[in-house]
């Protein structure tokens, strides 16, 4: 019986490893996600019921879950050298000359991408992943094996003719897509955003909870083999072999070059193509292909003589600063944003750049209308790296940071030691109020449907809600029929959905007011310019045009793109409202003072000349635009909202805790806190050090929690939510058994039959508790080989039972 189960477990593991390999290395999907999950679940269940067949490299451990408090330092058996850098082709030629001084035969080079992430060294023994260590200072690094196991690109077991013991090195990185995903969810949680994929990747590797590492979605590529002996004579052949063993190697985008000219070609190609890669690279790495030649060349004090990094220059362009605007986040944090004249950079049009905070603006010494250099480095959001002071107008003023909130006009505060300004007017600052409610209803929190930003705004404006606890007293009859008009930005319309007009039509329409150009004249002028702004550069002595130009400069409008969008020009809704009052039942909610034209003829002219409506009935077209920008609550949506609010009363405590929107308390922290404190009341009464001692929480988060609960208003809101029936207690989890109820465990020494993480999960699933130190509260100490001080200390307590690994396994059998 047990043998059968063991066989079943092993065959499932093998099968899942193979599917992983097909998917991640060969890029060939051989099983549906659903089937894969089914099989994984089956394996998980079998493993949970039979811990005696535990294997640290089981595919189930990919999902992570173990906590590592401290990462042990490990000495590298082979030092991890840096790479020498070069920045132009002359540097490369010098390098080749140095090589040919030592080596007479022809030299081949392998050119690879220089992946921008964190380097890693992984030891494989008998075909199994056994240890993964960060680069550290090159001599020693941190052991992060459990975290590395969660990375799908990295094989846990090898295939084919792999050597018995070897190290393989590579880079752990984040794709741009996953980086953006992480930041998006951090933004939703009100957490600081990460700066770039590289730092995020290396930070992720050091997280205590491997399940969190898993969620980050890291990728890996391997590019160097090291051992006593080598399975081939060239680097190129070894990469091919490593691929057969199951690794994702650099070979796929690499090239074997016979001459330096081929190397240069490769570099030139990737210098422009790199922007299309799904991940960041910061250069090219060149390696002498022959291992014999590599040995002849050897190392300098810091780097191999047989390898060279070629670094790309970050792409940089100059453009004009149009204005600085300030955004208010849900936590009241202010983010300054530079609005730029649109410019093409690394394949995308850049219109904005984050300025992060006041210090950065000061450091740049930014003035109004400066010409700035914009660069795209490892960061996703482009960055202003400097100012072209030669182009600065002497009269232009330094950018002065705002002192009042752009939304509620209350003074801003900057906490000492921090760079960010905050608006503290929590209860009177609209974006904060709306933002908190939006967060509360979001999918990962209370998951209430039908309440987008616009609808929340609508309820708020109608005094139906002032904070999220008010949602629970909404009544269906009272919200049906509420209506509000949004401008394009508020309505969340993307650029491509905005009403846009060709440049010639815009000029023609504008000239109705000033100068009356013919459509042919307008078309001619439009051909001479790319942006409507550039009208002022056009030299044309046509009197009508001169008049037009003069008025245009006066109006001082700015427009982006080849097409000029009404959004930036005039409040479309305002005009529509004037022209078609029948569509605008409620009072105007616009206090948009940015429009320059309230001339109805102007919009008529534009709309009639717009290609979008050539063949449509004009009035119904207007009605459809109007509808697009209207939020109204009809009976159906009112029903959805009210039902969904009711259902949210079953949302578990950990999500309710997250929904409250306590600063720095993201999904994960909320989960940890819920598990540790089990009820909101326990958390409210806990003190700072009790909260800070929960894994991954720490001082800063704990302070924010204590502060949150010290506000009387927050307690009132929570009480109101309690009355409404929300879950403020943790529901007991399903356990495999309760044989360890009221028993506590601690594992020490090096364990060989199971990993610490795996064992701790077993303890929890059977109702027990894991402790991190020896104390009188401890019941069992499980000691592996070379157990040290913890074992000594435990021996001093009569009440602590000391177990071997086998004795522990016997307990669960």
Runs of H (alpha helix) within 50-196: 89-102, 145-149, 176-189
Choice from 309, 464, 613, 736 touching ligand AMP (CB under 6 A): 309
Residue nearer to ligand AMP on the CB measure, 221 or 482: 221
Binding residues for ligand AMP restricted to 125-154, rule: CB under 6 A: 135
The interface partner of residue 115, options being ligand AMP, Zn ion, none and the CB cut-off 5 to 8 Å by kind, is ligand AMP
For the chain, what's the residue count?
813
605 binds, among Zn ion, ligand AMP, none (CB under 5 to 8 A by kind): none
Nearest CA to 109 out of 310, 273, 248, 277 is that of 310
In the complex with Zn ion, the residue whose CB is nearer, 429 or 437, is: 429
> Would residue 126 be called left, alpha or beta, if left means φ above 0 and alpha means ψ between -120 and 50 degrees?
left
* Shortest Cβ 398–Zn ion spacing (Å): 24
Q: Is 83 in the site for ligand AMP (CB under 6 A)?
A: yes
112 binding ligand AMP? (CB under 6 A): yes
* Residues 722-761 interacting with ligand AMP (rule: CB under 6 A): none
**CB closer to ligand AMP out of 227 and 309:** 309
The torsion angle over the Cα atoms of residues 571, 632, 457 and 642, rounded to 10 degrees, is -170
Which residues in 167-196 contact ligand AMP (CB under 6 A)? 171
Helix (H, G, I), strand (E, B) or coil at 632: strand
288: helix, strand or coil: strand
Q: Considering the complex, what minimum distance in angstroms separates the CB of residue 413 from Zn ion?
A: 11
Which of the residues 212 through 271 are near Zn ion (CB under 5 A)?
none
Of 147, 183, 202, 425, the residue at the interface with Zn ion (CB under 5 A) is: 425
Asked if 19 is part of the footprint of ligand AMP (rule: CB under 6 A), the reply reads: no
- Number of residues lying near Zn ion (CB under 5 A): 6
Smaller CB separation from ligand AMP, 83 or 665: 83
Footprint on residues 517-536 left by Zn ion (CB under 5 A): none
CB of 75 to ligand AMP, least distance (A): 17
Among 121, 178, 250, 755, binds ligand AMP (CB under 6 A): 250
Q: Considering 101, 114, 177, 206, which one is annotated as catalytic?
A: 114
Among 21, 24, 95, 115, contact with ligand AMP (rule: CB under 6 A): 115
172 or 364: CB nearest ligand AMP: 172
Cα separations in angstroms, 443 against 398, 469, 655, 674 = 43, 17, 10, 18
CA–CA distance, 593 with 570 (Å, rounded to integer): 10
Q: Which is nearer to ligand AMP, 223 or 564 (CB)?
A: 223
Residue choice 220, 285, 507, 606 for contact with ligand AMP (CB under 6 A): 285
Question: In this chain, which of 82, 130, 462, 682 binds ligand AMP, going by CB under 6 A?
Answer: 82
Per the structure block, which two tokens stand in for 46? 């079998």
- Binding of ligand AMP by 114 (CB under 6 A): yes
Query: How does strand 307-311 pair with strand 85-86?
Result: parallel
| 309 touches, from ligand AMP, Zn ion, none (C-beta below 5 to 8 Å by class) | ligand AMP
Assess 429 for contact with Zn ion (CB under 5 A): yes
Q: CA-CA distance, 108 to 608, in Å (whole number)? A: 66
Catalytic residue list contains 444:
no
Taking each continuous run of H as one helix and of E as one strand, the counts in the chain are: 30, 26
Q: What is the Cα 315 distance to its own chain's centre?
A: 23
Q: What is the DSSP string of 491-529?
A: TT--GGGS-EE-HHHHHHHHHHHTT---HHHHHHHHHT-
The residues that bridge with 109 in the sheet, in sequence order, are 257, 288
CB of residue 271 to ligand AMP, shortest distance in Å: 16
- Distance between CA 702 and CA 709 in Å, rounded? 11
CA distance 5 to 394: 82
Tokens 């741009």 -> residue: 176
Contact region for ligand AMP (CB under 6 A) — 52-60, 112-120, 474-482, 587-595?
112-120
Name the binder of 663 from ligand AMP, Zn ion, none, CB < 5-8 A by kind: none
The pairs formed by 296-299 with CB atoms below 8 angstroms and a separation of 24 or more are 296/102, 296/103, 297/99, 297/102, 297/103, 299/81
Segment contacting ligand AMP by CB under 6 A, of 90-98, 107-115, 506-514, 804-812: 107-115
Residue that the structure tokens 């506590």 belong to: 744
Q: Which of these, 804, 809, 807, lies nearest to 759 by C-alpha position?
A: 809
Biggest distance spanned by C-alpha atoms of the chain: 104
Report what 423 binds from Zn ion, ligand AMP, none; CB cut-off 5-8 Å by kind.
Zn ion
407 binds, among ligand AMP, Zn ion, none (CB under 5 to 8 A by kind): Zn ion
364-423 positions binding Zn ion, by CB under 5 A? 405, 407-408, 423
Q: How far is the CB of 132 from ligand AMP (least distance, A)?
A: 14
> Residue 83 binds what, of Zn ion, ligand AMP, none (CB under 5 to 8 Å, by partner type)?
ligand AMP
As given in the structure block, the two tokens for residue 397 are: 């003023």
- Residue closest to ligand AMP when measured from CB atoms: 119
Minimum separation from the CB atom of position 103 to ligand AMP (A): 21
Q: What is the 3-state secondary structure (H, E, C) of 322-370?
A: EEEEEEECCCCEEEEEEEEEEEEECCEEEEEEECCCHHHHHHHCCECCC
The least CB distance from residue 429 to Zn ion, in Å, is 3
What are the phi and psi torsion angles at 24 (to 5°)? -85, -30
Report the DSSP pairing between strands 315-328 and 140-142: unpaired
| Binding residues vs Zn ion (CB under 5 A) | 405, 407-408, 423, 425, 429
Which residues are annotated as catalytic? 114
| Binding residues vs ligand AMP (CB under 6 A) | 82-83, 112, 114-115, 119, 135, 171, 223, 250, 285, 309
């Amino acid at each position: 019986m047990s043998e059968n189960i063991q066989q079943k477990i092993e065959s499932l593991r093998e099968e899942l490893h193979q599917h992983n390999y097909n998917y991640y290395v060969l890029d060939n999907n051989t099983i549906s996600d659903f089937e894969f999950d089914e099989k994984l679940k089956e394996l998980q269940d079998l493993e949970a019921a039979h811990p005696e067949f535990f294997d640290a490299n089981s595919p189930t451990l990919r999902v992570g879950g173990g906590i590592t408090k401290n990462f042990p330092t490990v000495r590298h058996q082979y030092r991890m050298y840096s790479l020498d850098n070069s920045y132009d082709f002359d540097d490369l030629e010098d390098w080749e000359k140095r090589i040919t001084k030592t080596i007479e035969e022809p030299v081949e080079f392998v050119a690879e991408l220089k992946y921008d992430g964190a380097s890693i060294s992984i030891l494989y023994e008998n075909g199994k992943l056994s240890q993964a260590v960060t680069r550290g200072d090159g001599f020693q690094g941190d052991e992060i094996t459990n975290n590395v196991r969660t990375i799908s690109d990295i094989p846990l077991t090898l295939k084919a003719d792999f050597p018995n013991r070897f190290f393989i090195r590579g880079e752990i990185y984040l794709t741009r897509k996953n980086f953006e995903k992480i930041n998006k969810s951090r933004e939703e949680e009100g957490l600081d955003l990460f700066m770039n994929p590289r730092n995020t990747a290396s930070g992720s590797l050091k997280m205590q909870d491997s399940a969190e590492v898993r969620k980050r979605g890291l990728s890996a590529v391997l590019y160097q083999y090291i051992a006593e002996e080598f399975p081939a004579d060239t680097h190129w052949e070894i990469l091919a072999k490593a691929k057969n063993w199951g690794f994702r190697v650099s070979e796929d985008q690499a090239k074997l070059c016979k001459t330096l000219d081929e190397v240069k070609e490769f570099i030139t190609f990737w210098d422009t193509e790199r922007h299309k890669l799904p991940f960041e690279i910061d250069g090219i790495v060149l390696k002498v292909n022959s291992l014999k030649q590599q040995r002849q060349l050897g190392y300098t004090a810091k780097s191999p003589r047989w390898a060279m990094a070629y670094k790309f220059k970050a792409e940089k362009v100059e453009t004009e600063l149009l204005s600085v605007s300030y955004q208010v986040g849900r936590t009241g944090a202010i983010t300054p944003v530079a609005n730029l004249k649109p410019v093409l950079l690394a394949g995308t049009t850049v219109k904005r750049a984050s300025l992060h905070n006041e210090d950065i603006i000061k450091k740049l010494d930014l003035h109004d209308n400066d010409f700035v250099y914009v660069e795209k480095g490892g960061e996703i959001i482009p960055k202003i790296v400097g100012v072209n002071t030669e182009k600065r107008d002497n009269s232009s003023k330094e950018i002065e940071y705002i002192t009042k909130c752009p939304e509620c006009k209350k003074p801003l505060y900057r906490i000492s030691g921090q760079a960010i300004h905050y608006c503290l007017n929590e209860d009177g600052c609209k974006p904060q109020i709306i933002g908190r409610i939006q967060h509360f209803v979001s999918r990962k929190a209370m998951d209430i449907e039908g309440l987008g930003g616009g609808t929340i705004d609508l309820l708020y404006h109608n005094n139906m809600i002032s904070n999220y606890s008010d949602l629970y007293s909404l009544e269906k009859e009272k919200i049906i029929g509420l209506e509000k008009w949004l401008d394009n930005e508020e309505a969340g319309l993307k650029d491509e959905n905005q009403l846009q007009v060709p440049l010639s039509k815009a000029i023609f329409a504008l000239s109705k007011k000033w100068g009356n150009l013919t459509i042919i004249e307008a078309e001619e002028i439009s051909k001479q310019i790319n942006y409507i702004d550039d009208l002022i550069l056009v030299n044309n002595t046509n009197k009508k045009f001169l008049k037009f130009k003069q008025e245009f400069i006066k109006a001082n409008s700015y427009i982006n793109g080849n097409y000029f969008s009404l959004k930036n020009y005039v409040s479309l809704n305002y005009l529509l409202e004037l022209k078609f009052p029948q569509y605008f039942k409620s009072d105007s909610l616009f206090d948009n003072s940015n429009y320059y034209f309230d001339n109805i003829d102007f919009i008529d002219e534009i709309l009639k000349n717009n290609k979008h409506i050539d063949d449509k009935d004009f009035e119904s077209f207007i009605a459809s635009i109007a509808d697009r920008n209207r939020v109204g609550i009809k009976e159906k949506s009112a029903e959805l909202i009210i039902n969904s609010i009711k259902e949210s009363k079953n949302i578990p405590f950990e999500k309710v805790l997250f929904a409250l929107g306590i600063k720095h308390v993201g999904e994960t922290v909320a989960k940890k806190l819920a598990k540790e404190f089990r009820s909101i009341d326990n958390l409210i009464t806990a003190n700072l050090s009790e909260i800070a001692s929960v894994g991954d929480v720490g001082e800063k988060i704990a302070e924010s929690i204590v502060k949150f609960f010290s506000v009387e208003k927050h307690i009132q809101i929570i009480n109101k939510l309690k009355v409404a029936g929300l879950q403020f207690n943790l529901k007991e989890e399903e356990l495999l058994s309760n044989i360890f109820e009221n028993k506590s465990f601690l594992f020490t020494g090096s364990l060989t039959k199971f990993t610490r993480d795996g064992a701790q999960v077993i303890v929890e699933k059977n109702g027990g508790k894991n402790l991190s130190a020896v104390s009188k509260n401890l019941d069992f100490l499980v000691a592996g080989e070379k157990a040290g001080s913890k074992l000594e200390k435990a021996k001093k307590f009569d009440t602590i039972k000391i177990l071997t690994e086998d004795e522990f396994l016997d307990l669960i059998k």
